[in-house]
């Protein structure tokens, strides 16, 4: 029972190992961003705090009492280390938030750099707390920052364990050297060990909660994108559906009204498609639609919209395209279709309606015009391109 609780605490509560591995790169990226946001301003303030301590306490102490008096040189080294940790962490965090490189990133990843900075930070605090034992028996500074490290830094448990363990060893050695009262020493070591254990479990819970939340967010984003794709994509041909076409068409009309950028609309359908379904079956008919969609997709640009309007009818919105360019594109689609090999040696032709947006009209007026052009192409013999 205890082992199960421990495993649950160390493991992710709602995610599997497979999911953690699958989303590992995204987790690391988001983890880096989260740590960078947490650390930037705190470490920036740390720069000035350490400069203040060095300038107001350490250097005057050494000048007045000498290098060895009251461990002045050791305090100076510890505070200088904290200064460089704060300085390095500030610049590294800033670069991460700006998605830019930092010179240390050539040698060590930001995630690993965070572990090193945490180790250096806690080790320096352990040294300072040990030095304080000469005049005081308090270790609250070390306990406080150990707990803060467990809560503040979002690190993998192995990194946190290493940083906390090494700092604890330094703390133990320092206290043995500088605390002469056996009773106080025993109390200090006991309290320090307990604080490190608590800090580690806080860190584990914090990290696992972060991982759980991140993976849940990723899954939600993926589900949203999938739903958006399904709601805007034709199931059979995998091109845009009528809903997506209508959305994009209104956007293009609105943009054209604002910028005077020309747009054109092509509408076409397969001549006598009912015969294909009746003679060869709907499975073959579906294959014809799929191959037609693939052939046409290869002819249009990414900024254009190609959609299945319904049945065997298709529409293409040509962005930044005049009627002349739209006619050229239509002829290209028509010619390219002749190269497509259909099952059962089926040969198909297409009827096209083409038009260009007239300033001042709305989407319905433009659509009615292209629909009439398509109707005229079908009524006057099919396999034609009619523009209006």
HEC per residue, 35-87: HHHHHHHHHHHHHHHHHHHHHHHHHHHHHHHCCCHHHHHHHHHHHHHHHHHHH
pLDDT of residue 4: 46
Strand partners, 267: 315, 353
3-state helix, strand, coil in the chain (%, to 5): 70, 10, 20
Domain harbouring 338, CATH code:
3.30.70.270
Say yes or no to pLDDT of 130 above 50.
Answer: yes
Give yes or no: residues 186 and 250 share one domain: no
Residues 264-305 pLDDT 10s: 999 999 999 999 999 999 999 999 999 999 999 999 999 999
- Distance spanning both ends of the chain, measured CA to CA: 78
Q: How many whole angstroms separate alpha carbon 62 and alpha carbon 75?
A: 10
Query: 3-class DSSP state for residue 232?
Result: helix
Number of domains in the chain: 2
Instruction: Tell me whether residue 145 is in a domain.
Output: yes
Give yes or no: residues 34 and 180 share one domain: yes
Number of C-beta neighbours around residue 343 at 10 A: 11
pLDDT of residue 151: 86
Considering only residues 196 and 136, tell me which one the structure prediction assigns the higher pLDDT: 196
Say yes or no to pLDDT of 262 above 80.
Answer: yes
Strand partners, 233: 240
pLDDT of residue 9: 47
pLDDT of residue 3: 41
pLDDT of residue 16: 63
Considering only residues 20 and 84, tell me which one the structure prediction assigns the higher pLDDT: 84
Q: What percent of the chain has pLDDT over 70?
A: 95
Give yes or no: residues 203 and 309 share one domain: no
Question: Are residues 207 and 156 in contact, defined by beta-carbon separation less than 8 angstroms?
Answer: yes
Instruction: Tell me whether residue 68 is in a domain.
Output: yes
Give yes or no: residues 288 and 176 share one domain: no
Give yes or no: residues 216 and 332 share one domain: no
pLDDT of residue 152: 85
Give yes or no: residues 91 and 193 share one domain: yes
Domain termination site, one of 197, 228, 259? 228
* Tokens linked to 169: 């060893």
Domain termination site, one of 228, 250, 279? 228
Query: Is 228 a catalytic site residue?
Result: no
DSSP characters for 249-296?
Answer: HHHHHHHHHHH----EEEEEEETTHHHHHHHH-HHHHHHHHHHHHHHH
Give yes or no: residues 249 and 224 share one domain: no
Instruction: Tell me whether residue 237 is in a domain.
Output: no
Q: What number is the average pLDDT over the span 209-224?
A: 89
Range of the domain at 152: 2-228
- CA nearest to 72, candidates 60, 62, 83: 62
Residues 308-359 pLDDT 10s: 999 999 999 999 999 999 999 999 999 998 888 888 788 899 999 999 999 8
Active-site residue identified among 39, 50, 287, 312: 312
pLDDT of residue 225: 87
Residues 3-48 pLDDT 10s: 444 444 444 444 566 777 778 888 889 999 999 998 998 899 999 9
Domain termination site, one of 204, 228, 252? 228
Compute the Cα dihedral for 111, 116, 121, 123 and give only its sign. Answer: positive
Instruction: Tell me whether residue 104 is in a domain.
Output: yes
């Amino acid at each position: 029972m205890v082992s199960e609780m421990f495993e649950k605490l160390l493991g992710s509560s709602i995610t599997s190992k497979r999911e953690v591995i699958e989303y590992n790169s995204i987790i690391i990226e988001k983890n880096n961003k989260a740590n960078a946001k947490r650390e930037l301003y705190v470490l920036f303030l740390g720069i000035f705090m350490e400069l203040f301590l060095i300038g107001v306490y350490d250097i005057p102490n050494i000048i007045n009492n000498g290098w060895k008096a009251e461990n002045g040189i050791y305090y100076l080294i510890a505070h200088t280390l904290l200064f460089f940790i704060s300085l390095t962490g500030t610049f590294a965090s800033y670069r991460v938030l700006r998605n830019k490189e930092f010179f240390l990133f050539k040698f060590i990843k930001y995630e690993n750099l965070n572990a090193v900075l945490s180790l250096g930070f806690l080790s320096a605090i352990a040294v300072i707390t040990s030095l304080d034992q000469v005049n005081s028996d308090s270790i609250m500074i070390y306990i406080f920052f150990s707990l803060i490290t467990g809560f503040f830094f979002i690190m993998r448990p192995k990194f946190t364990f290493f940083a906390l363990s090494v700092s604890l060893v330094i703390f133990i050695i320092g206290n043995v050297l500088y605390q002469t009262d056996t009773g106080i020493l025993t109390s200090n070591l006991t309290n320090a060990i307990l604080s490190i254990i608590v800090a580690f479990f806080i860190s584990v819970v914090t990290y696992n909660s972060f991982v759980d939340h991140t993976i849940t967010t990723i899954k939600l984003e993926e589900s949203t994108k999938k739903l958006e794709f399904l709601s805007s994509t034709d199931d059979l041909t995998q091109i845009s559906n009528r809903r997506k076409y209508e959305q994009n068409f209104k956007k293009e009309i609105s943009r054209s009204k604002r910028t005077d950028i020309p747009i054109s609309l092509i509408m076409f359908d397969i001549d006598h498609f009912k015969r294909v379904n009746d003679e060869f079956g709907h499975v073959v008919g579906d294959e014809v639609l799929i191959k037609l969609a693939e052939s046409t997709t290869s002819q249009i640009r990414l900024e254009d919209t190609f959609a299945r309007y319904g049945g065997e009818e298709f529409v293409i919105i040509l962005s930044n395209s005049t009627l002349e360019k739209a006619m050229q594109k239509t002829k290209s689609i028509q010619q390219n279709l002749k190269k497509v090999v259909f099952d059962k040696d089926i040969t198909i032709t297409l009827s096209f309606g083409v038009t260009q947006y007239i300033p001042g009209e709305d989407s319905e007026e433009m659509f009615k015009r292209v629909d009439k052009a398509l109707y005229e192409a079908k009524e006057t013999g099919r396999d034609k391109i009619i523009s209006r």
